Amino acid sequence: MASRMKKEAPEIPAGSMADIAFLLLIFFLVTTTIASDKGILNFLPPKQDPNVPPPDIKVNERNIFTILINANDQLLVEGEYGTTESLDQDVKAFILNFGAPDEEGQALYNSLPASLQSLALRDPASSDDPSEAIVSIKTNRGTSYDIYLEVFDLVKKAYFDIYAARVNLSSEEYRALSAEMPGESDLQDKGKEGIPMAISIAEPDKQGGN
Amino acid sequence: MAKFKKKSKASTAISVASLPDIVFILLFFFMVTTVMREQDILVEQKLPQASQLQKLQKKTLISYIYLGNPKNVALYGTEPRIQANDALLNPADIVQWVNQERDLLPESERGLITISMKADKDVKMGPISDVQTELREADARRVLYAATKKID
């Protein structure tokens, strides 16, 4: 009896398998959104206590690289009309100017690879030392987010290029370093050492926006 | 001459027996990578492009906030709006929202909360800075400006 049952066991036709699989495939193709959690990281300053006046920090004008963006998305870089074209090079040259380095700055200069040392123009009107250099971005309420991010991106690029060159990586590889892997976080720290990423984002002013 | 005629007889039928297998592999790939959207996005989302993108290691620390012009103009007007979770927020509600999100995290990681700001290209800096002011107020100071890779 049992053997007869086995003989009659019906076979499922597999011909339509491909069609079913295709239907499912198309369904998942359409609903898939590849999750992208990439972006540009920014650290906001701590909130200000209204009872405490903002600290009066004296910073020499020459140590600040100012980028102003108005409501028409025009750039004013260090007091002159600018474009986003060579901005990252300008920022790099500003950070690595070494106009008047102190002892630590000089030691830092000596530790840099030759490709970065050649950028040090020692212009007295530009930054004294990478640890003093600040890049300031100020926008207007009417400035578009797109151009703001483009400028911010370029300033970050300048820093990442420097960090990457110090540890002999490409900028791409440096950004992919993870702080959780022991070997990689050392490299990360080595790149950053002595050159803090000092990007100041000023509160946008009111005119021209909503 | 006859030599040439013989060649044309060669059969060129491709075997389709492995087609289902290939399709299944593709199917599994998409099934595994699919993340179902758990919320409707009520605002326009055309992310800006940038080159210096970084990826965050811990996804659980990220909370998303969306900025853009409302898709439904009749209902929400034309001014840029802020969306978090499933609803549109006013800037004043952001502090409360951040605190709620922070409470979902384990205690040791609460200080590391990161806000991914998914802002539309066409938004102006005004609303962006309003959000940032509120985030500073809520002490959620790690902000990720979501962007797509620039293709040069």
Interface size A-B, in CB pairs within 8 Å, comes to 156
- A145 and B55 within 8 Å at the Cβ level: the answer is no
Residue B3 to chain A, least CA–CA distance (Å): 40
Of B37, B128, B149, the CB nearest to A145: B128
Contacts of A37 in chain B (CB under 8 A): 55-56, 59, 62, 116, 144, 146
Residues of A in contact with B66 (CB under 8 A): none
In angstroms, rounded to a whole number, what is the distance separating the alpha carbons of residues B87 and A36? Answer: 22
Instruction: Return the percentage of chain B with pLDDT > 90, whole number.
Output: 4
Q: How far apart are CA A98 and CA A103, in angstroms?
A: 11
Residue pair B130/B93 in contact (Cβ under 8 Å)? The answer is no
**pTM score:** 0.78
pLDDT band at A108 (very low <50, low <70, confident <90, very high): confident
B116:A139 CB<8 A = no
Give the E-state strand segments of A112-177 in sequence order.
134-140
Question: CA-CA distance, A64 to A135, in Å (whole number)?
Answer: 6
Instruction: Name the residue facing A33 among B37, B122, B137 (closest C-beta).
Output: B37
Mean pLDDT on A27-42: 78
pLDDT digits (tens, 9 = 90+) for A157-196: 888 888 888 888 888 888 888 777 777 888 888 888 888 8
Q: Looking up tokens 């000092």, which residue turns up?
A: A198
Q: In angstroms, what CA-CA distances link B120 with A76, A108, A149, B117, B125?
A: 24, 41, 11, 9, 11
Q: What ipTM is given for this predicted complex?
A: 0.75
